[in-house]
Amino acid sequence: MKKILLIIFYLFAFNNSLYAIVEVDITRGNLDPLPIAVSPLYIEPGSEDITQNGKIIKNIGEEIAKVIEKNFKRSGLFNPLKKESFVQNPDVAHIKPRFEDWRLIKAQALVTGKVTISEDKLRAEFRLWDVVAAKEMVALAFSTTPDNWRRVAHIISDKIYQRLTGEEGYFDTRIIYVSETGEKTQRVKKLAIMDQDGANIKYLTLGNELVLTPRFSPKNQLVTYLSYFKNLPRVYLLDIETGVQEVVGDFPGMTFAPRFSPNGEKIIMSFAKDGNSDIYTMNLKDRVVEKITDHTSIDTSPSYSPDGKYICFNSDRSGLQQIYVMRSDGSQVKRITFGKGLYGTPVWSPRGDLIAFTKVHKGKFFIGVMRPDGSGERLLTENFYQEAPSWSPNGRVLVFYRETKTDSDGKGFSTKLWSIDLTGYNERLIKTETDGSDPSWSSLLSK
């Protein structure tokens, strides 16, 4: 009897193992960009044409779709499919896509939309569809004046990017930079601003004075930059929205790279006092200047961590230029780079997980990233001369500038803006009207 009971007990007790589920680990996949179909936005019949800069834009729906496609292509994360392969018309697709048709061309996501223009108002709506699951993922509509159509395209791109990647987009942003024209020895430098895709370039200064290192505030549309007035360095504050600019202060000796604190209330910079360069902060409300480092070496290029608790900077206190991290009050200074070569221009990522830097080794310039403790150094790009990385607001892409060599006749010198993402494979030239240097990426305009 006991034996029978024991057998029954064991049968039930170990029954679970008989039902053990089969587990299979999938550790590999396809790393190609996601195939996405961006159908031209359907224009509601009776809509007016748009006139911009004296030009009539007839098919605004197609133009918006083109901007979205280019954004996706540049991101390196998506592969916009060719329109020639689309089977379904934009108007029908926006109401109810025939998913089988879109699956045929290997699309995994589909964007459809509609534009209405009447009484000087543009209304654009879009839908993002999961083609494989045959369901809608996002649907939003925006209304504005017709000349804002490019921004609408960027905002739509951001919403789609966010839904498909899980992180914030960076398309509805701008880049401020120093526009350069003329010979290498007599460069005319102006402050210029453009959309992140290189469109809508506008010049903010006339080029009478030398301008350097413009930096966007992470909180709003304020820019701080350095300009020389009567051969003295001056730090300016410029409100991009209103165009109002003011002098923050005249600083003695060599002054470098003013940059905002994460809350936008302070600027941090380095300048030389009594022949020694240290790091200082200035409170923008009361203009009180506070000394952060006090060392006989040259301390420059400070940048705050996004939580404002730490500062990274470069210093030659070890004999060679290296990157250091300290608390924001100047305490607990710690060297984080020990590799071969010189390290400079550290910039903390808006996500806080990485620090971007410029490295010089064996006569070559590298743009790279590392963790805030100095581990995990990765060099993303190498060239003859390149520096000044600046992060996109989502911390995925870096913009920087690159110089080309002058040939034996003294010609061929140029400075261009480039972008590269964290993978290091997606490197792209940002086309500008003139040469450009010292770029700085804004935060999201529509945040």
Q: Taking CB under 8 A as the criterion, which residues in 210-239 touch other proteins?
A: 221, 238
Stretch that binds other proteins, among 22-30, 81-89, 316-324, 431-439 (CB under 8 A): 22-30
Verify binding: residue 31, other proteins, rule CB under 8 A: yes
Instruction: Measure the CA–CA gap between 48 and 41, rounded to whole angstroms.
Output: 15
Q: Residues 394, 169: contact at Cβ < 8 Å?
A: yes
Instruction: Measure the CA–CA gap between 316 and 270, rounded to whole angstroms.
Output: 14
| Nearer to other proteins among residue 27 and residue 331 (C-beta) | 27
With CB under 8 A as the contact rule, the residue among 27, 53, 185, 231 that binds other proteins is 27
Tell me how far CA of residue 212 lies from CA of 151, 180, 263, 295, in angstroms: 28, 11, 23, 26
Verify binding: residue 3, other proteins, rule CB under 8 A: no
Stretch that binds other proteins, among 55-63, 157-165, 263-271, 407-415 (CB under 8 A): 157-165
| Nearer to other proteins among residue 227 and residue 321 (C-beta) | 227
| Nearer to other proteins among residue 122 and residue 279 (C-beta) | 122
- Return all residues near 178 (Cβ < 8 A) that are at least 6 apart: 189, 190, 191, 192, 211, 212, 214, 436, 437, 438
Count of residues that bind other proteins according to CB under 8 A: 83
Tell how strand 34-38 and strand 109-118 pair up.
Answer: parallel
Instruction: Measure the CA–CA gap between 116 and 48, rounded to whole angstroms.
Output: 8
With CB under 8 A as the contact rule, the residue among 71, 213, 217, 245 that binds other proteins is 245
Question: What φ, ψ does residue 212 adopt, rounded to 5°?
Answer: -140, 155
Give one DSSP letter per residue of 219-251, joined into a string.
Answer: SSSEEEEEEEETTEEEEEEEETTT--EEEEEE-
With CB under 8 A as the contact rule, the residue among 72, 86, 102, 142 that binds other proteins is 142
Min dist. Cβ of residue 433 to other proteins (A): 15
Instruction: Measure the CA–CA gap between 18 and 395, rounded to whole angstroms.
Output: 48
| Nearer to other proteins among residue 12 and residue 231 (C-beta) | 12
Kindly report each contact of residues 54-59 with a partner whose C-beta sits within 8 Å and lies 24 or more positions away, as own/partner. 57/149
Stretch that binds other proteins, among 20-28, 56-64, 308-316, 357-365 (CB under 8 A): 20-28
Instruction: Measure the CA–CA gap between 267 and 251, rounded to whole angstroms.
Output: 13
Q: Residues 40, 83: contact at Cβ < 8 Å?
A: yes
Stretch that binds other proteins, among 202-210, 250-258, 266-274, 287-295 (CB under 8 A): 202-210
Min dist. Cβ of residue 411 to other proteins (A): 33
Stretch that binds other proteins, among 135-143, 252-260, 265-273, 320-328 (CB under 8 A): 135-143
Which among 393, 386, 396, 370 has a CA at the least distance from the CA of 429?
Answer: 386
With CB under 8 A as the contact rule, the residue among 2, 3, 22, 46 that binds other proteins is 22
Verify binding: residue 139, other proteins, rule CB under 8 A: yes
Give one DSSP letter per residue of 353-402, joined into a string.
Answer: S-EEEEEEETTEEEEEEE-TTS-S-EEEEEESEEEEEEE-TTSSEEEEEE
| Nearer to other proteins among residue 21 and residue 56 (C-beta) | 21
| Nearer to other proteins among residue 28 and residue 230 (C-beta) | 28
Kindly report each contact of residues 131-139 with a partner whose C-beta sits within 8 Å and lies 24 or more positions away, as own/partner. 131/37, 131/97, 131/99, 131/102, 131/103, 131/107, 132/103, 132/108, 134/99, 137/109, 137/163, 137/164, 138/163
Q: Taking CB under 8 A as the criterion, which residues in 347-386 touch other proteins?
A: 351, 353
| Nearer to other proteins among residue 345 and residue 426 (C-beta) | 426
Verify binding: residue 189, other proteins, rule CB under 8 A: no
Verify binding: residue 204, other proteins, rule CB under 8 A: yes
With CB under 8 A as the contact rule, the residue among 85, 263, 406, 446 that binds other proteins is 446
SS3 84: helix
Q: Taking CB under 8 A as the criterion, which residues in 251-290 touch other proteins?
A: none
Verify binding: residue 316, other proteins, rule CB under 8 A: no
Q: Taking CB under 8 A as the criterion, which residues in 61-120 touch other proteins?
A: 76-77, 95-96, 108
At position 66, the amino acid (one-letter code) is K
Verify binding: residue 199, other proteins, rule CB under 8 A: no
With CB under 8 A as the contact rule, the residue among 303, 396, 434, 436 that binds other proteins is 396
With CB under 8 A as the contact rule, the residue among 44, 62, 130, 316 that binds other proteins is 130
Helical segments of 192-347, H only: none
SS3 267: strand
With CB under 8 A as the contact rule, the residue among 47, 59, 162, 276 that binds other proteins is 162
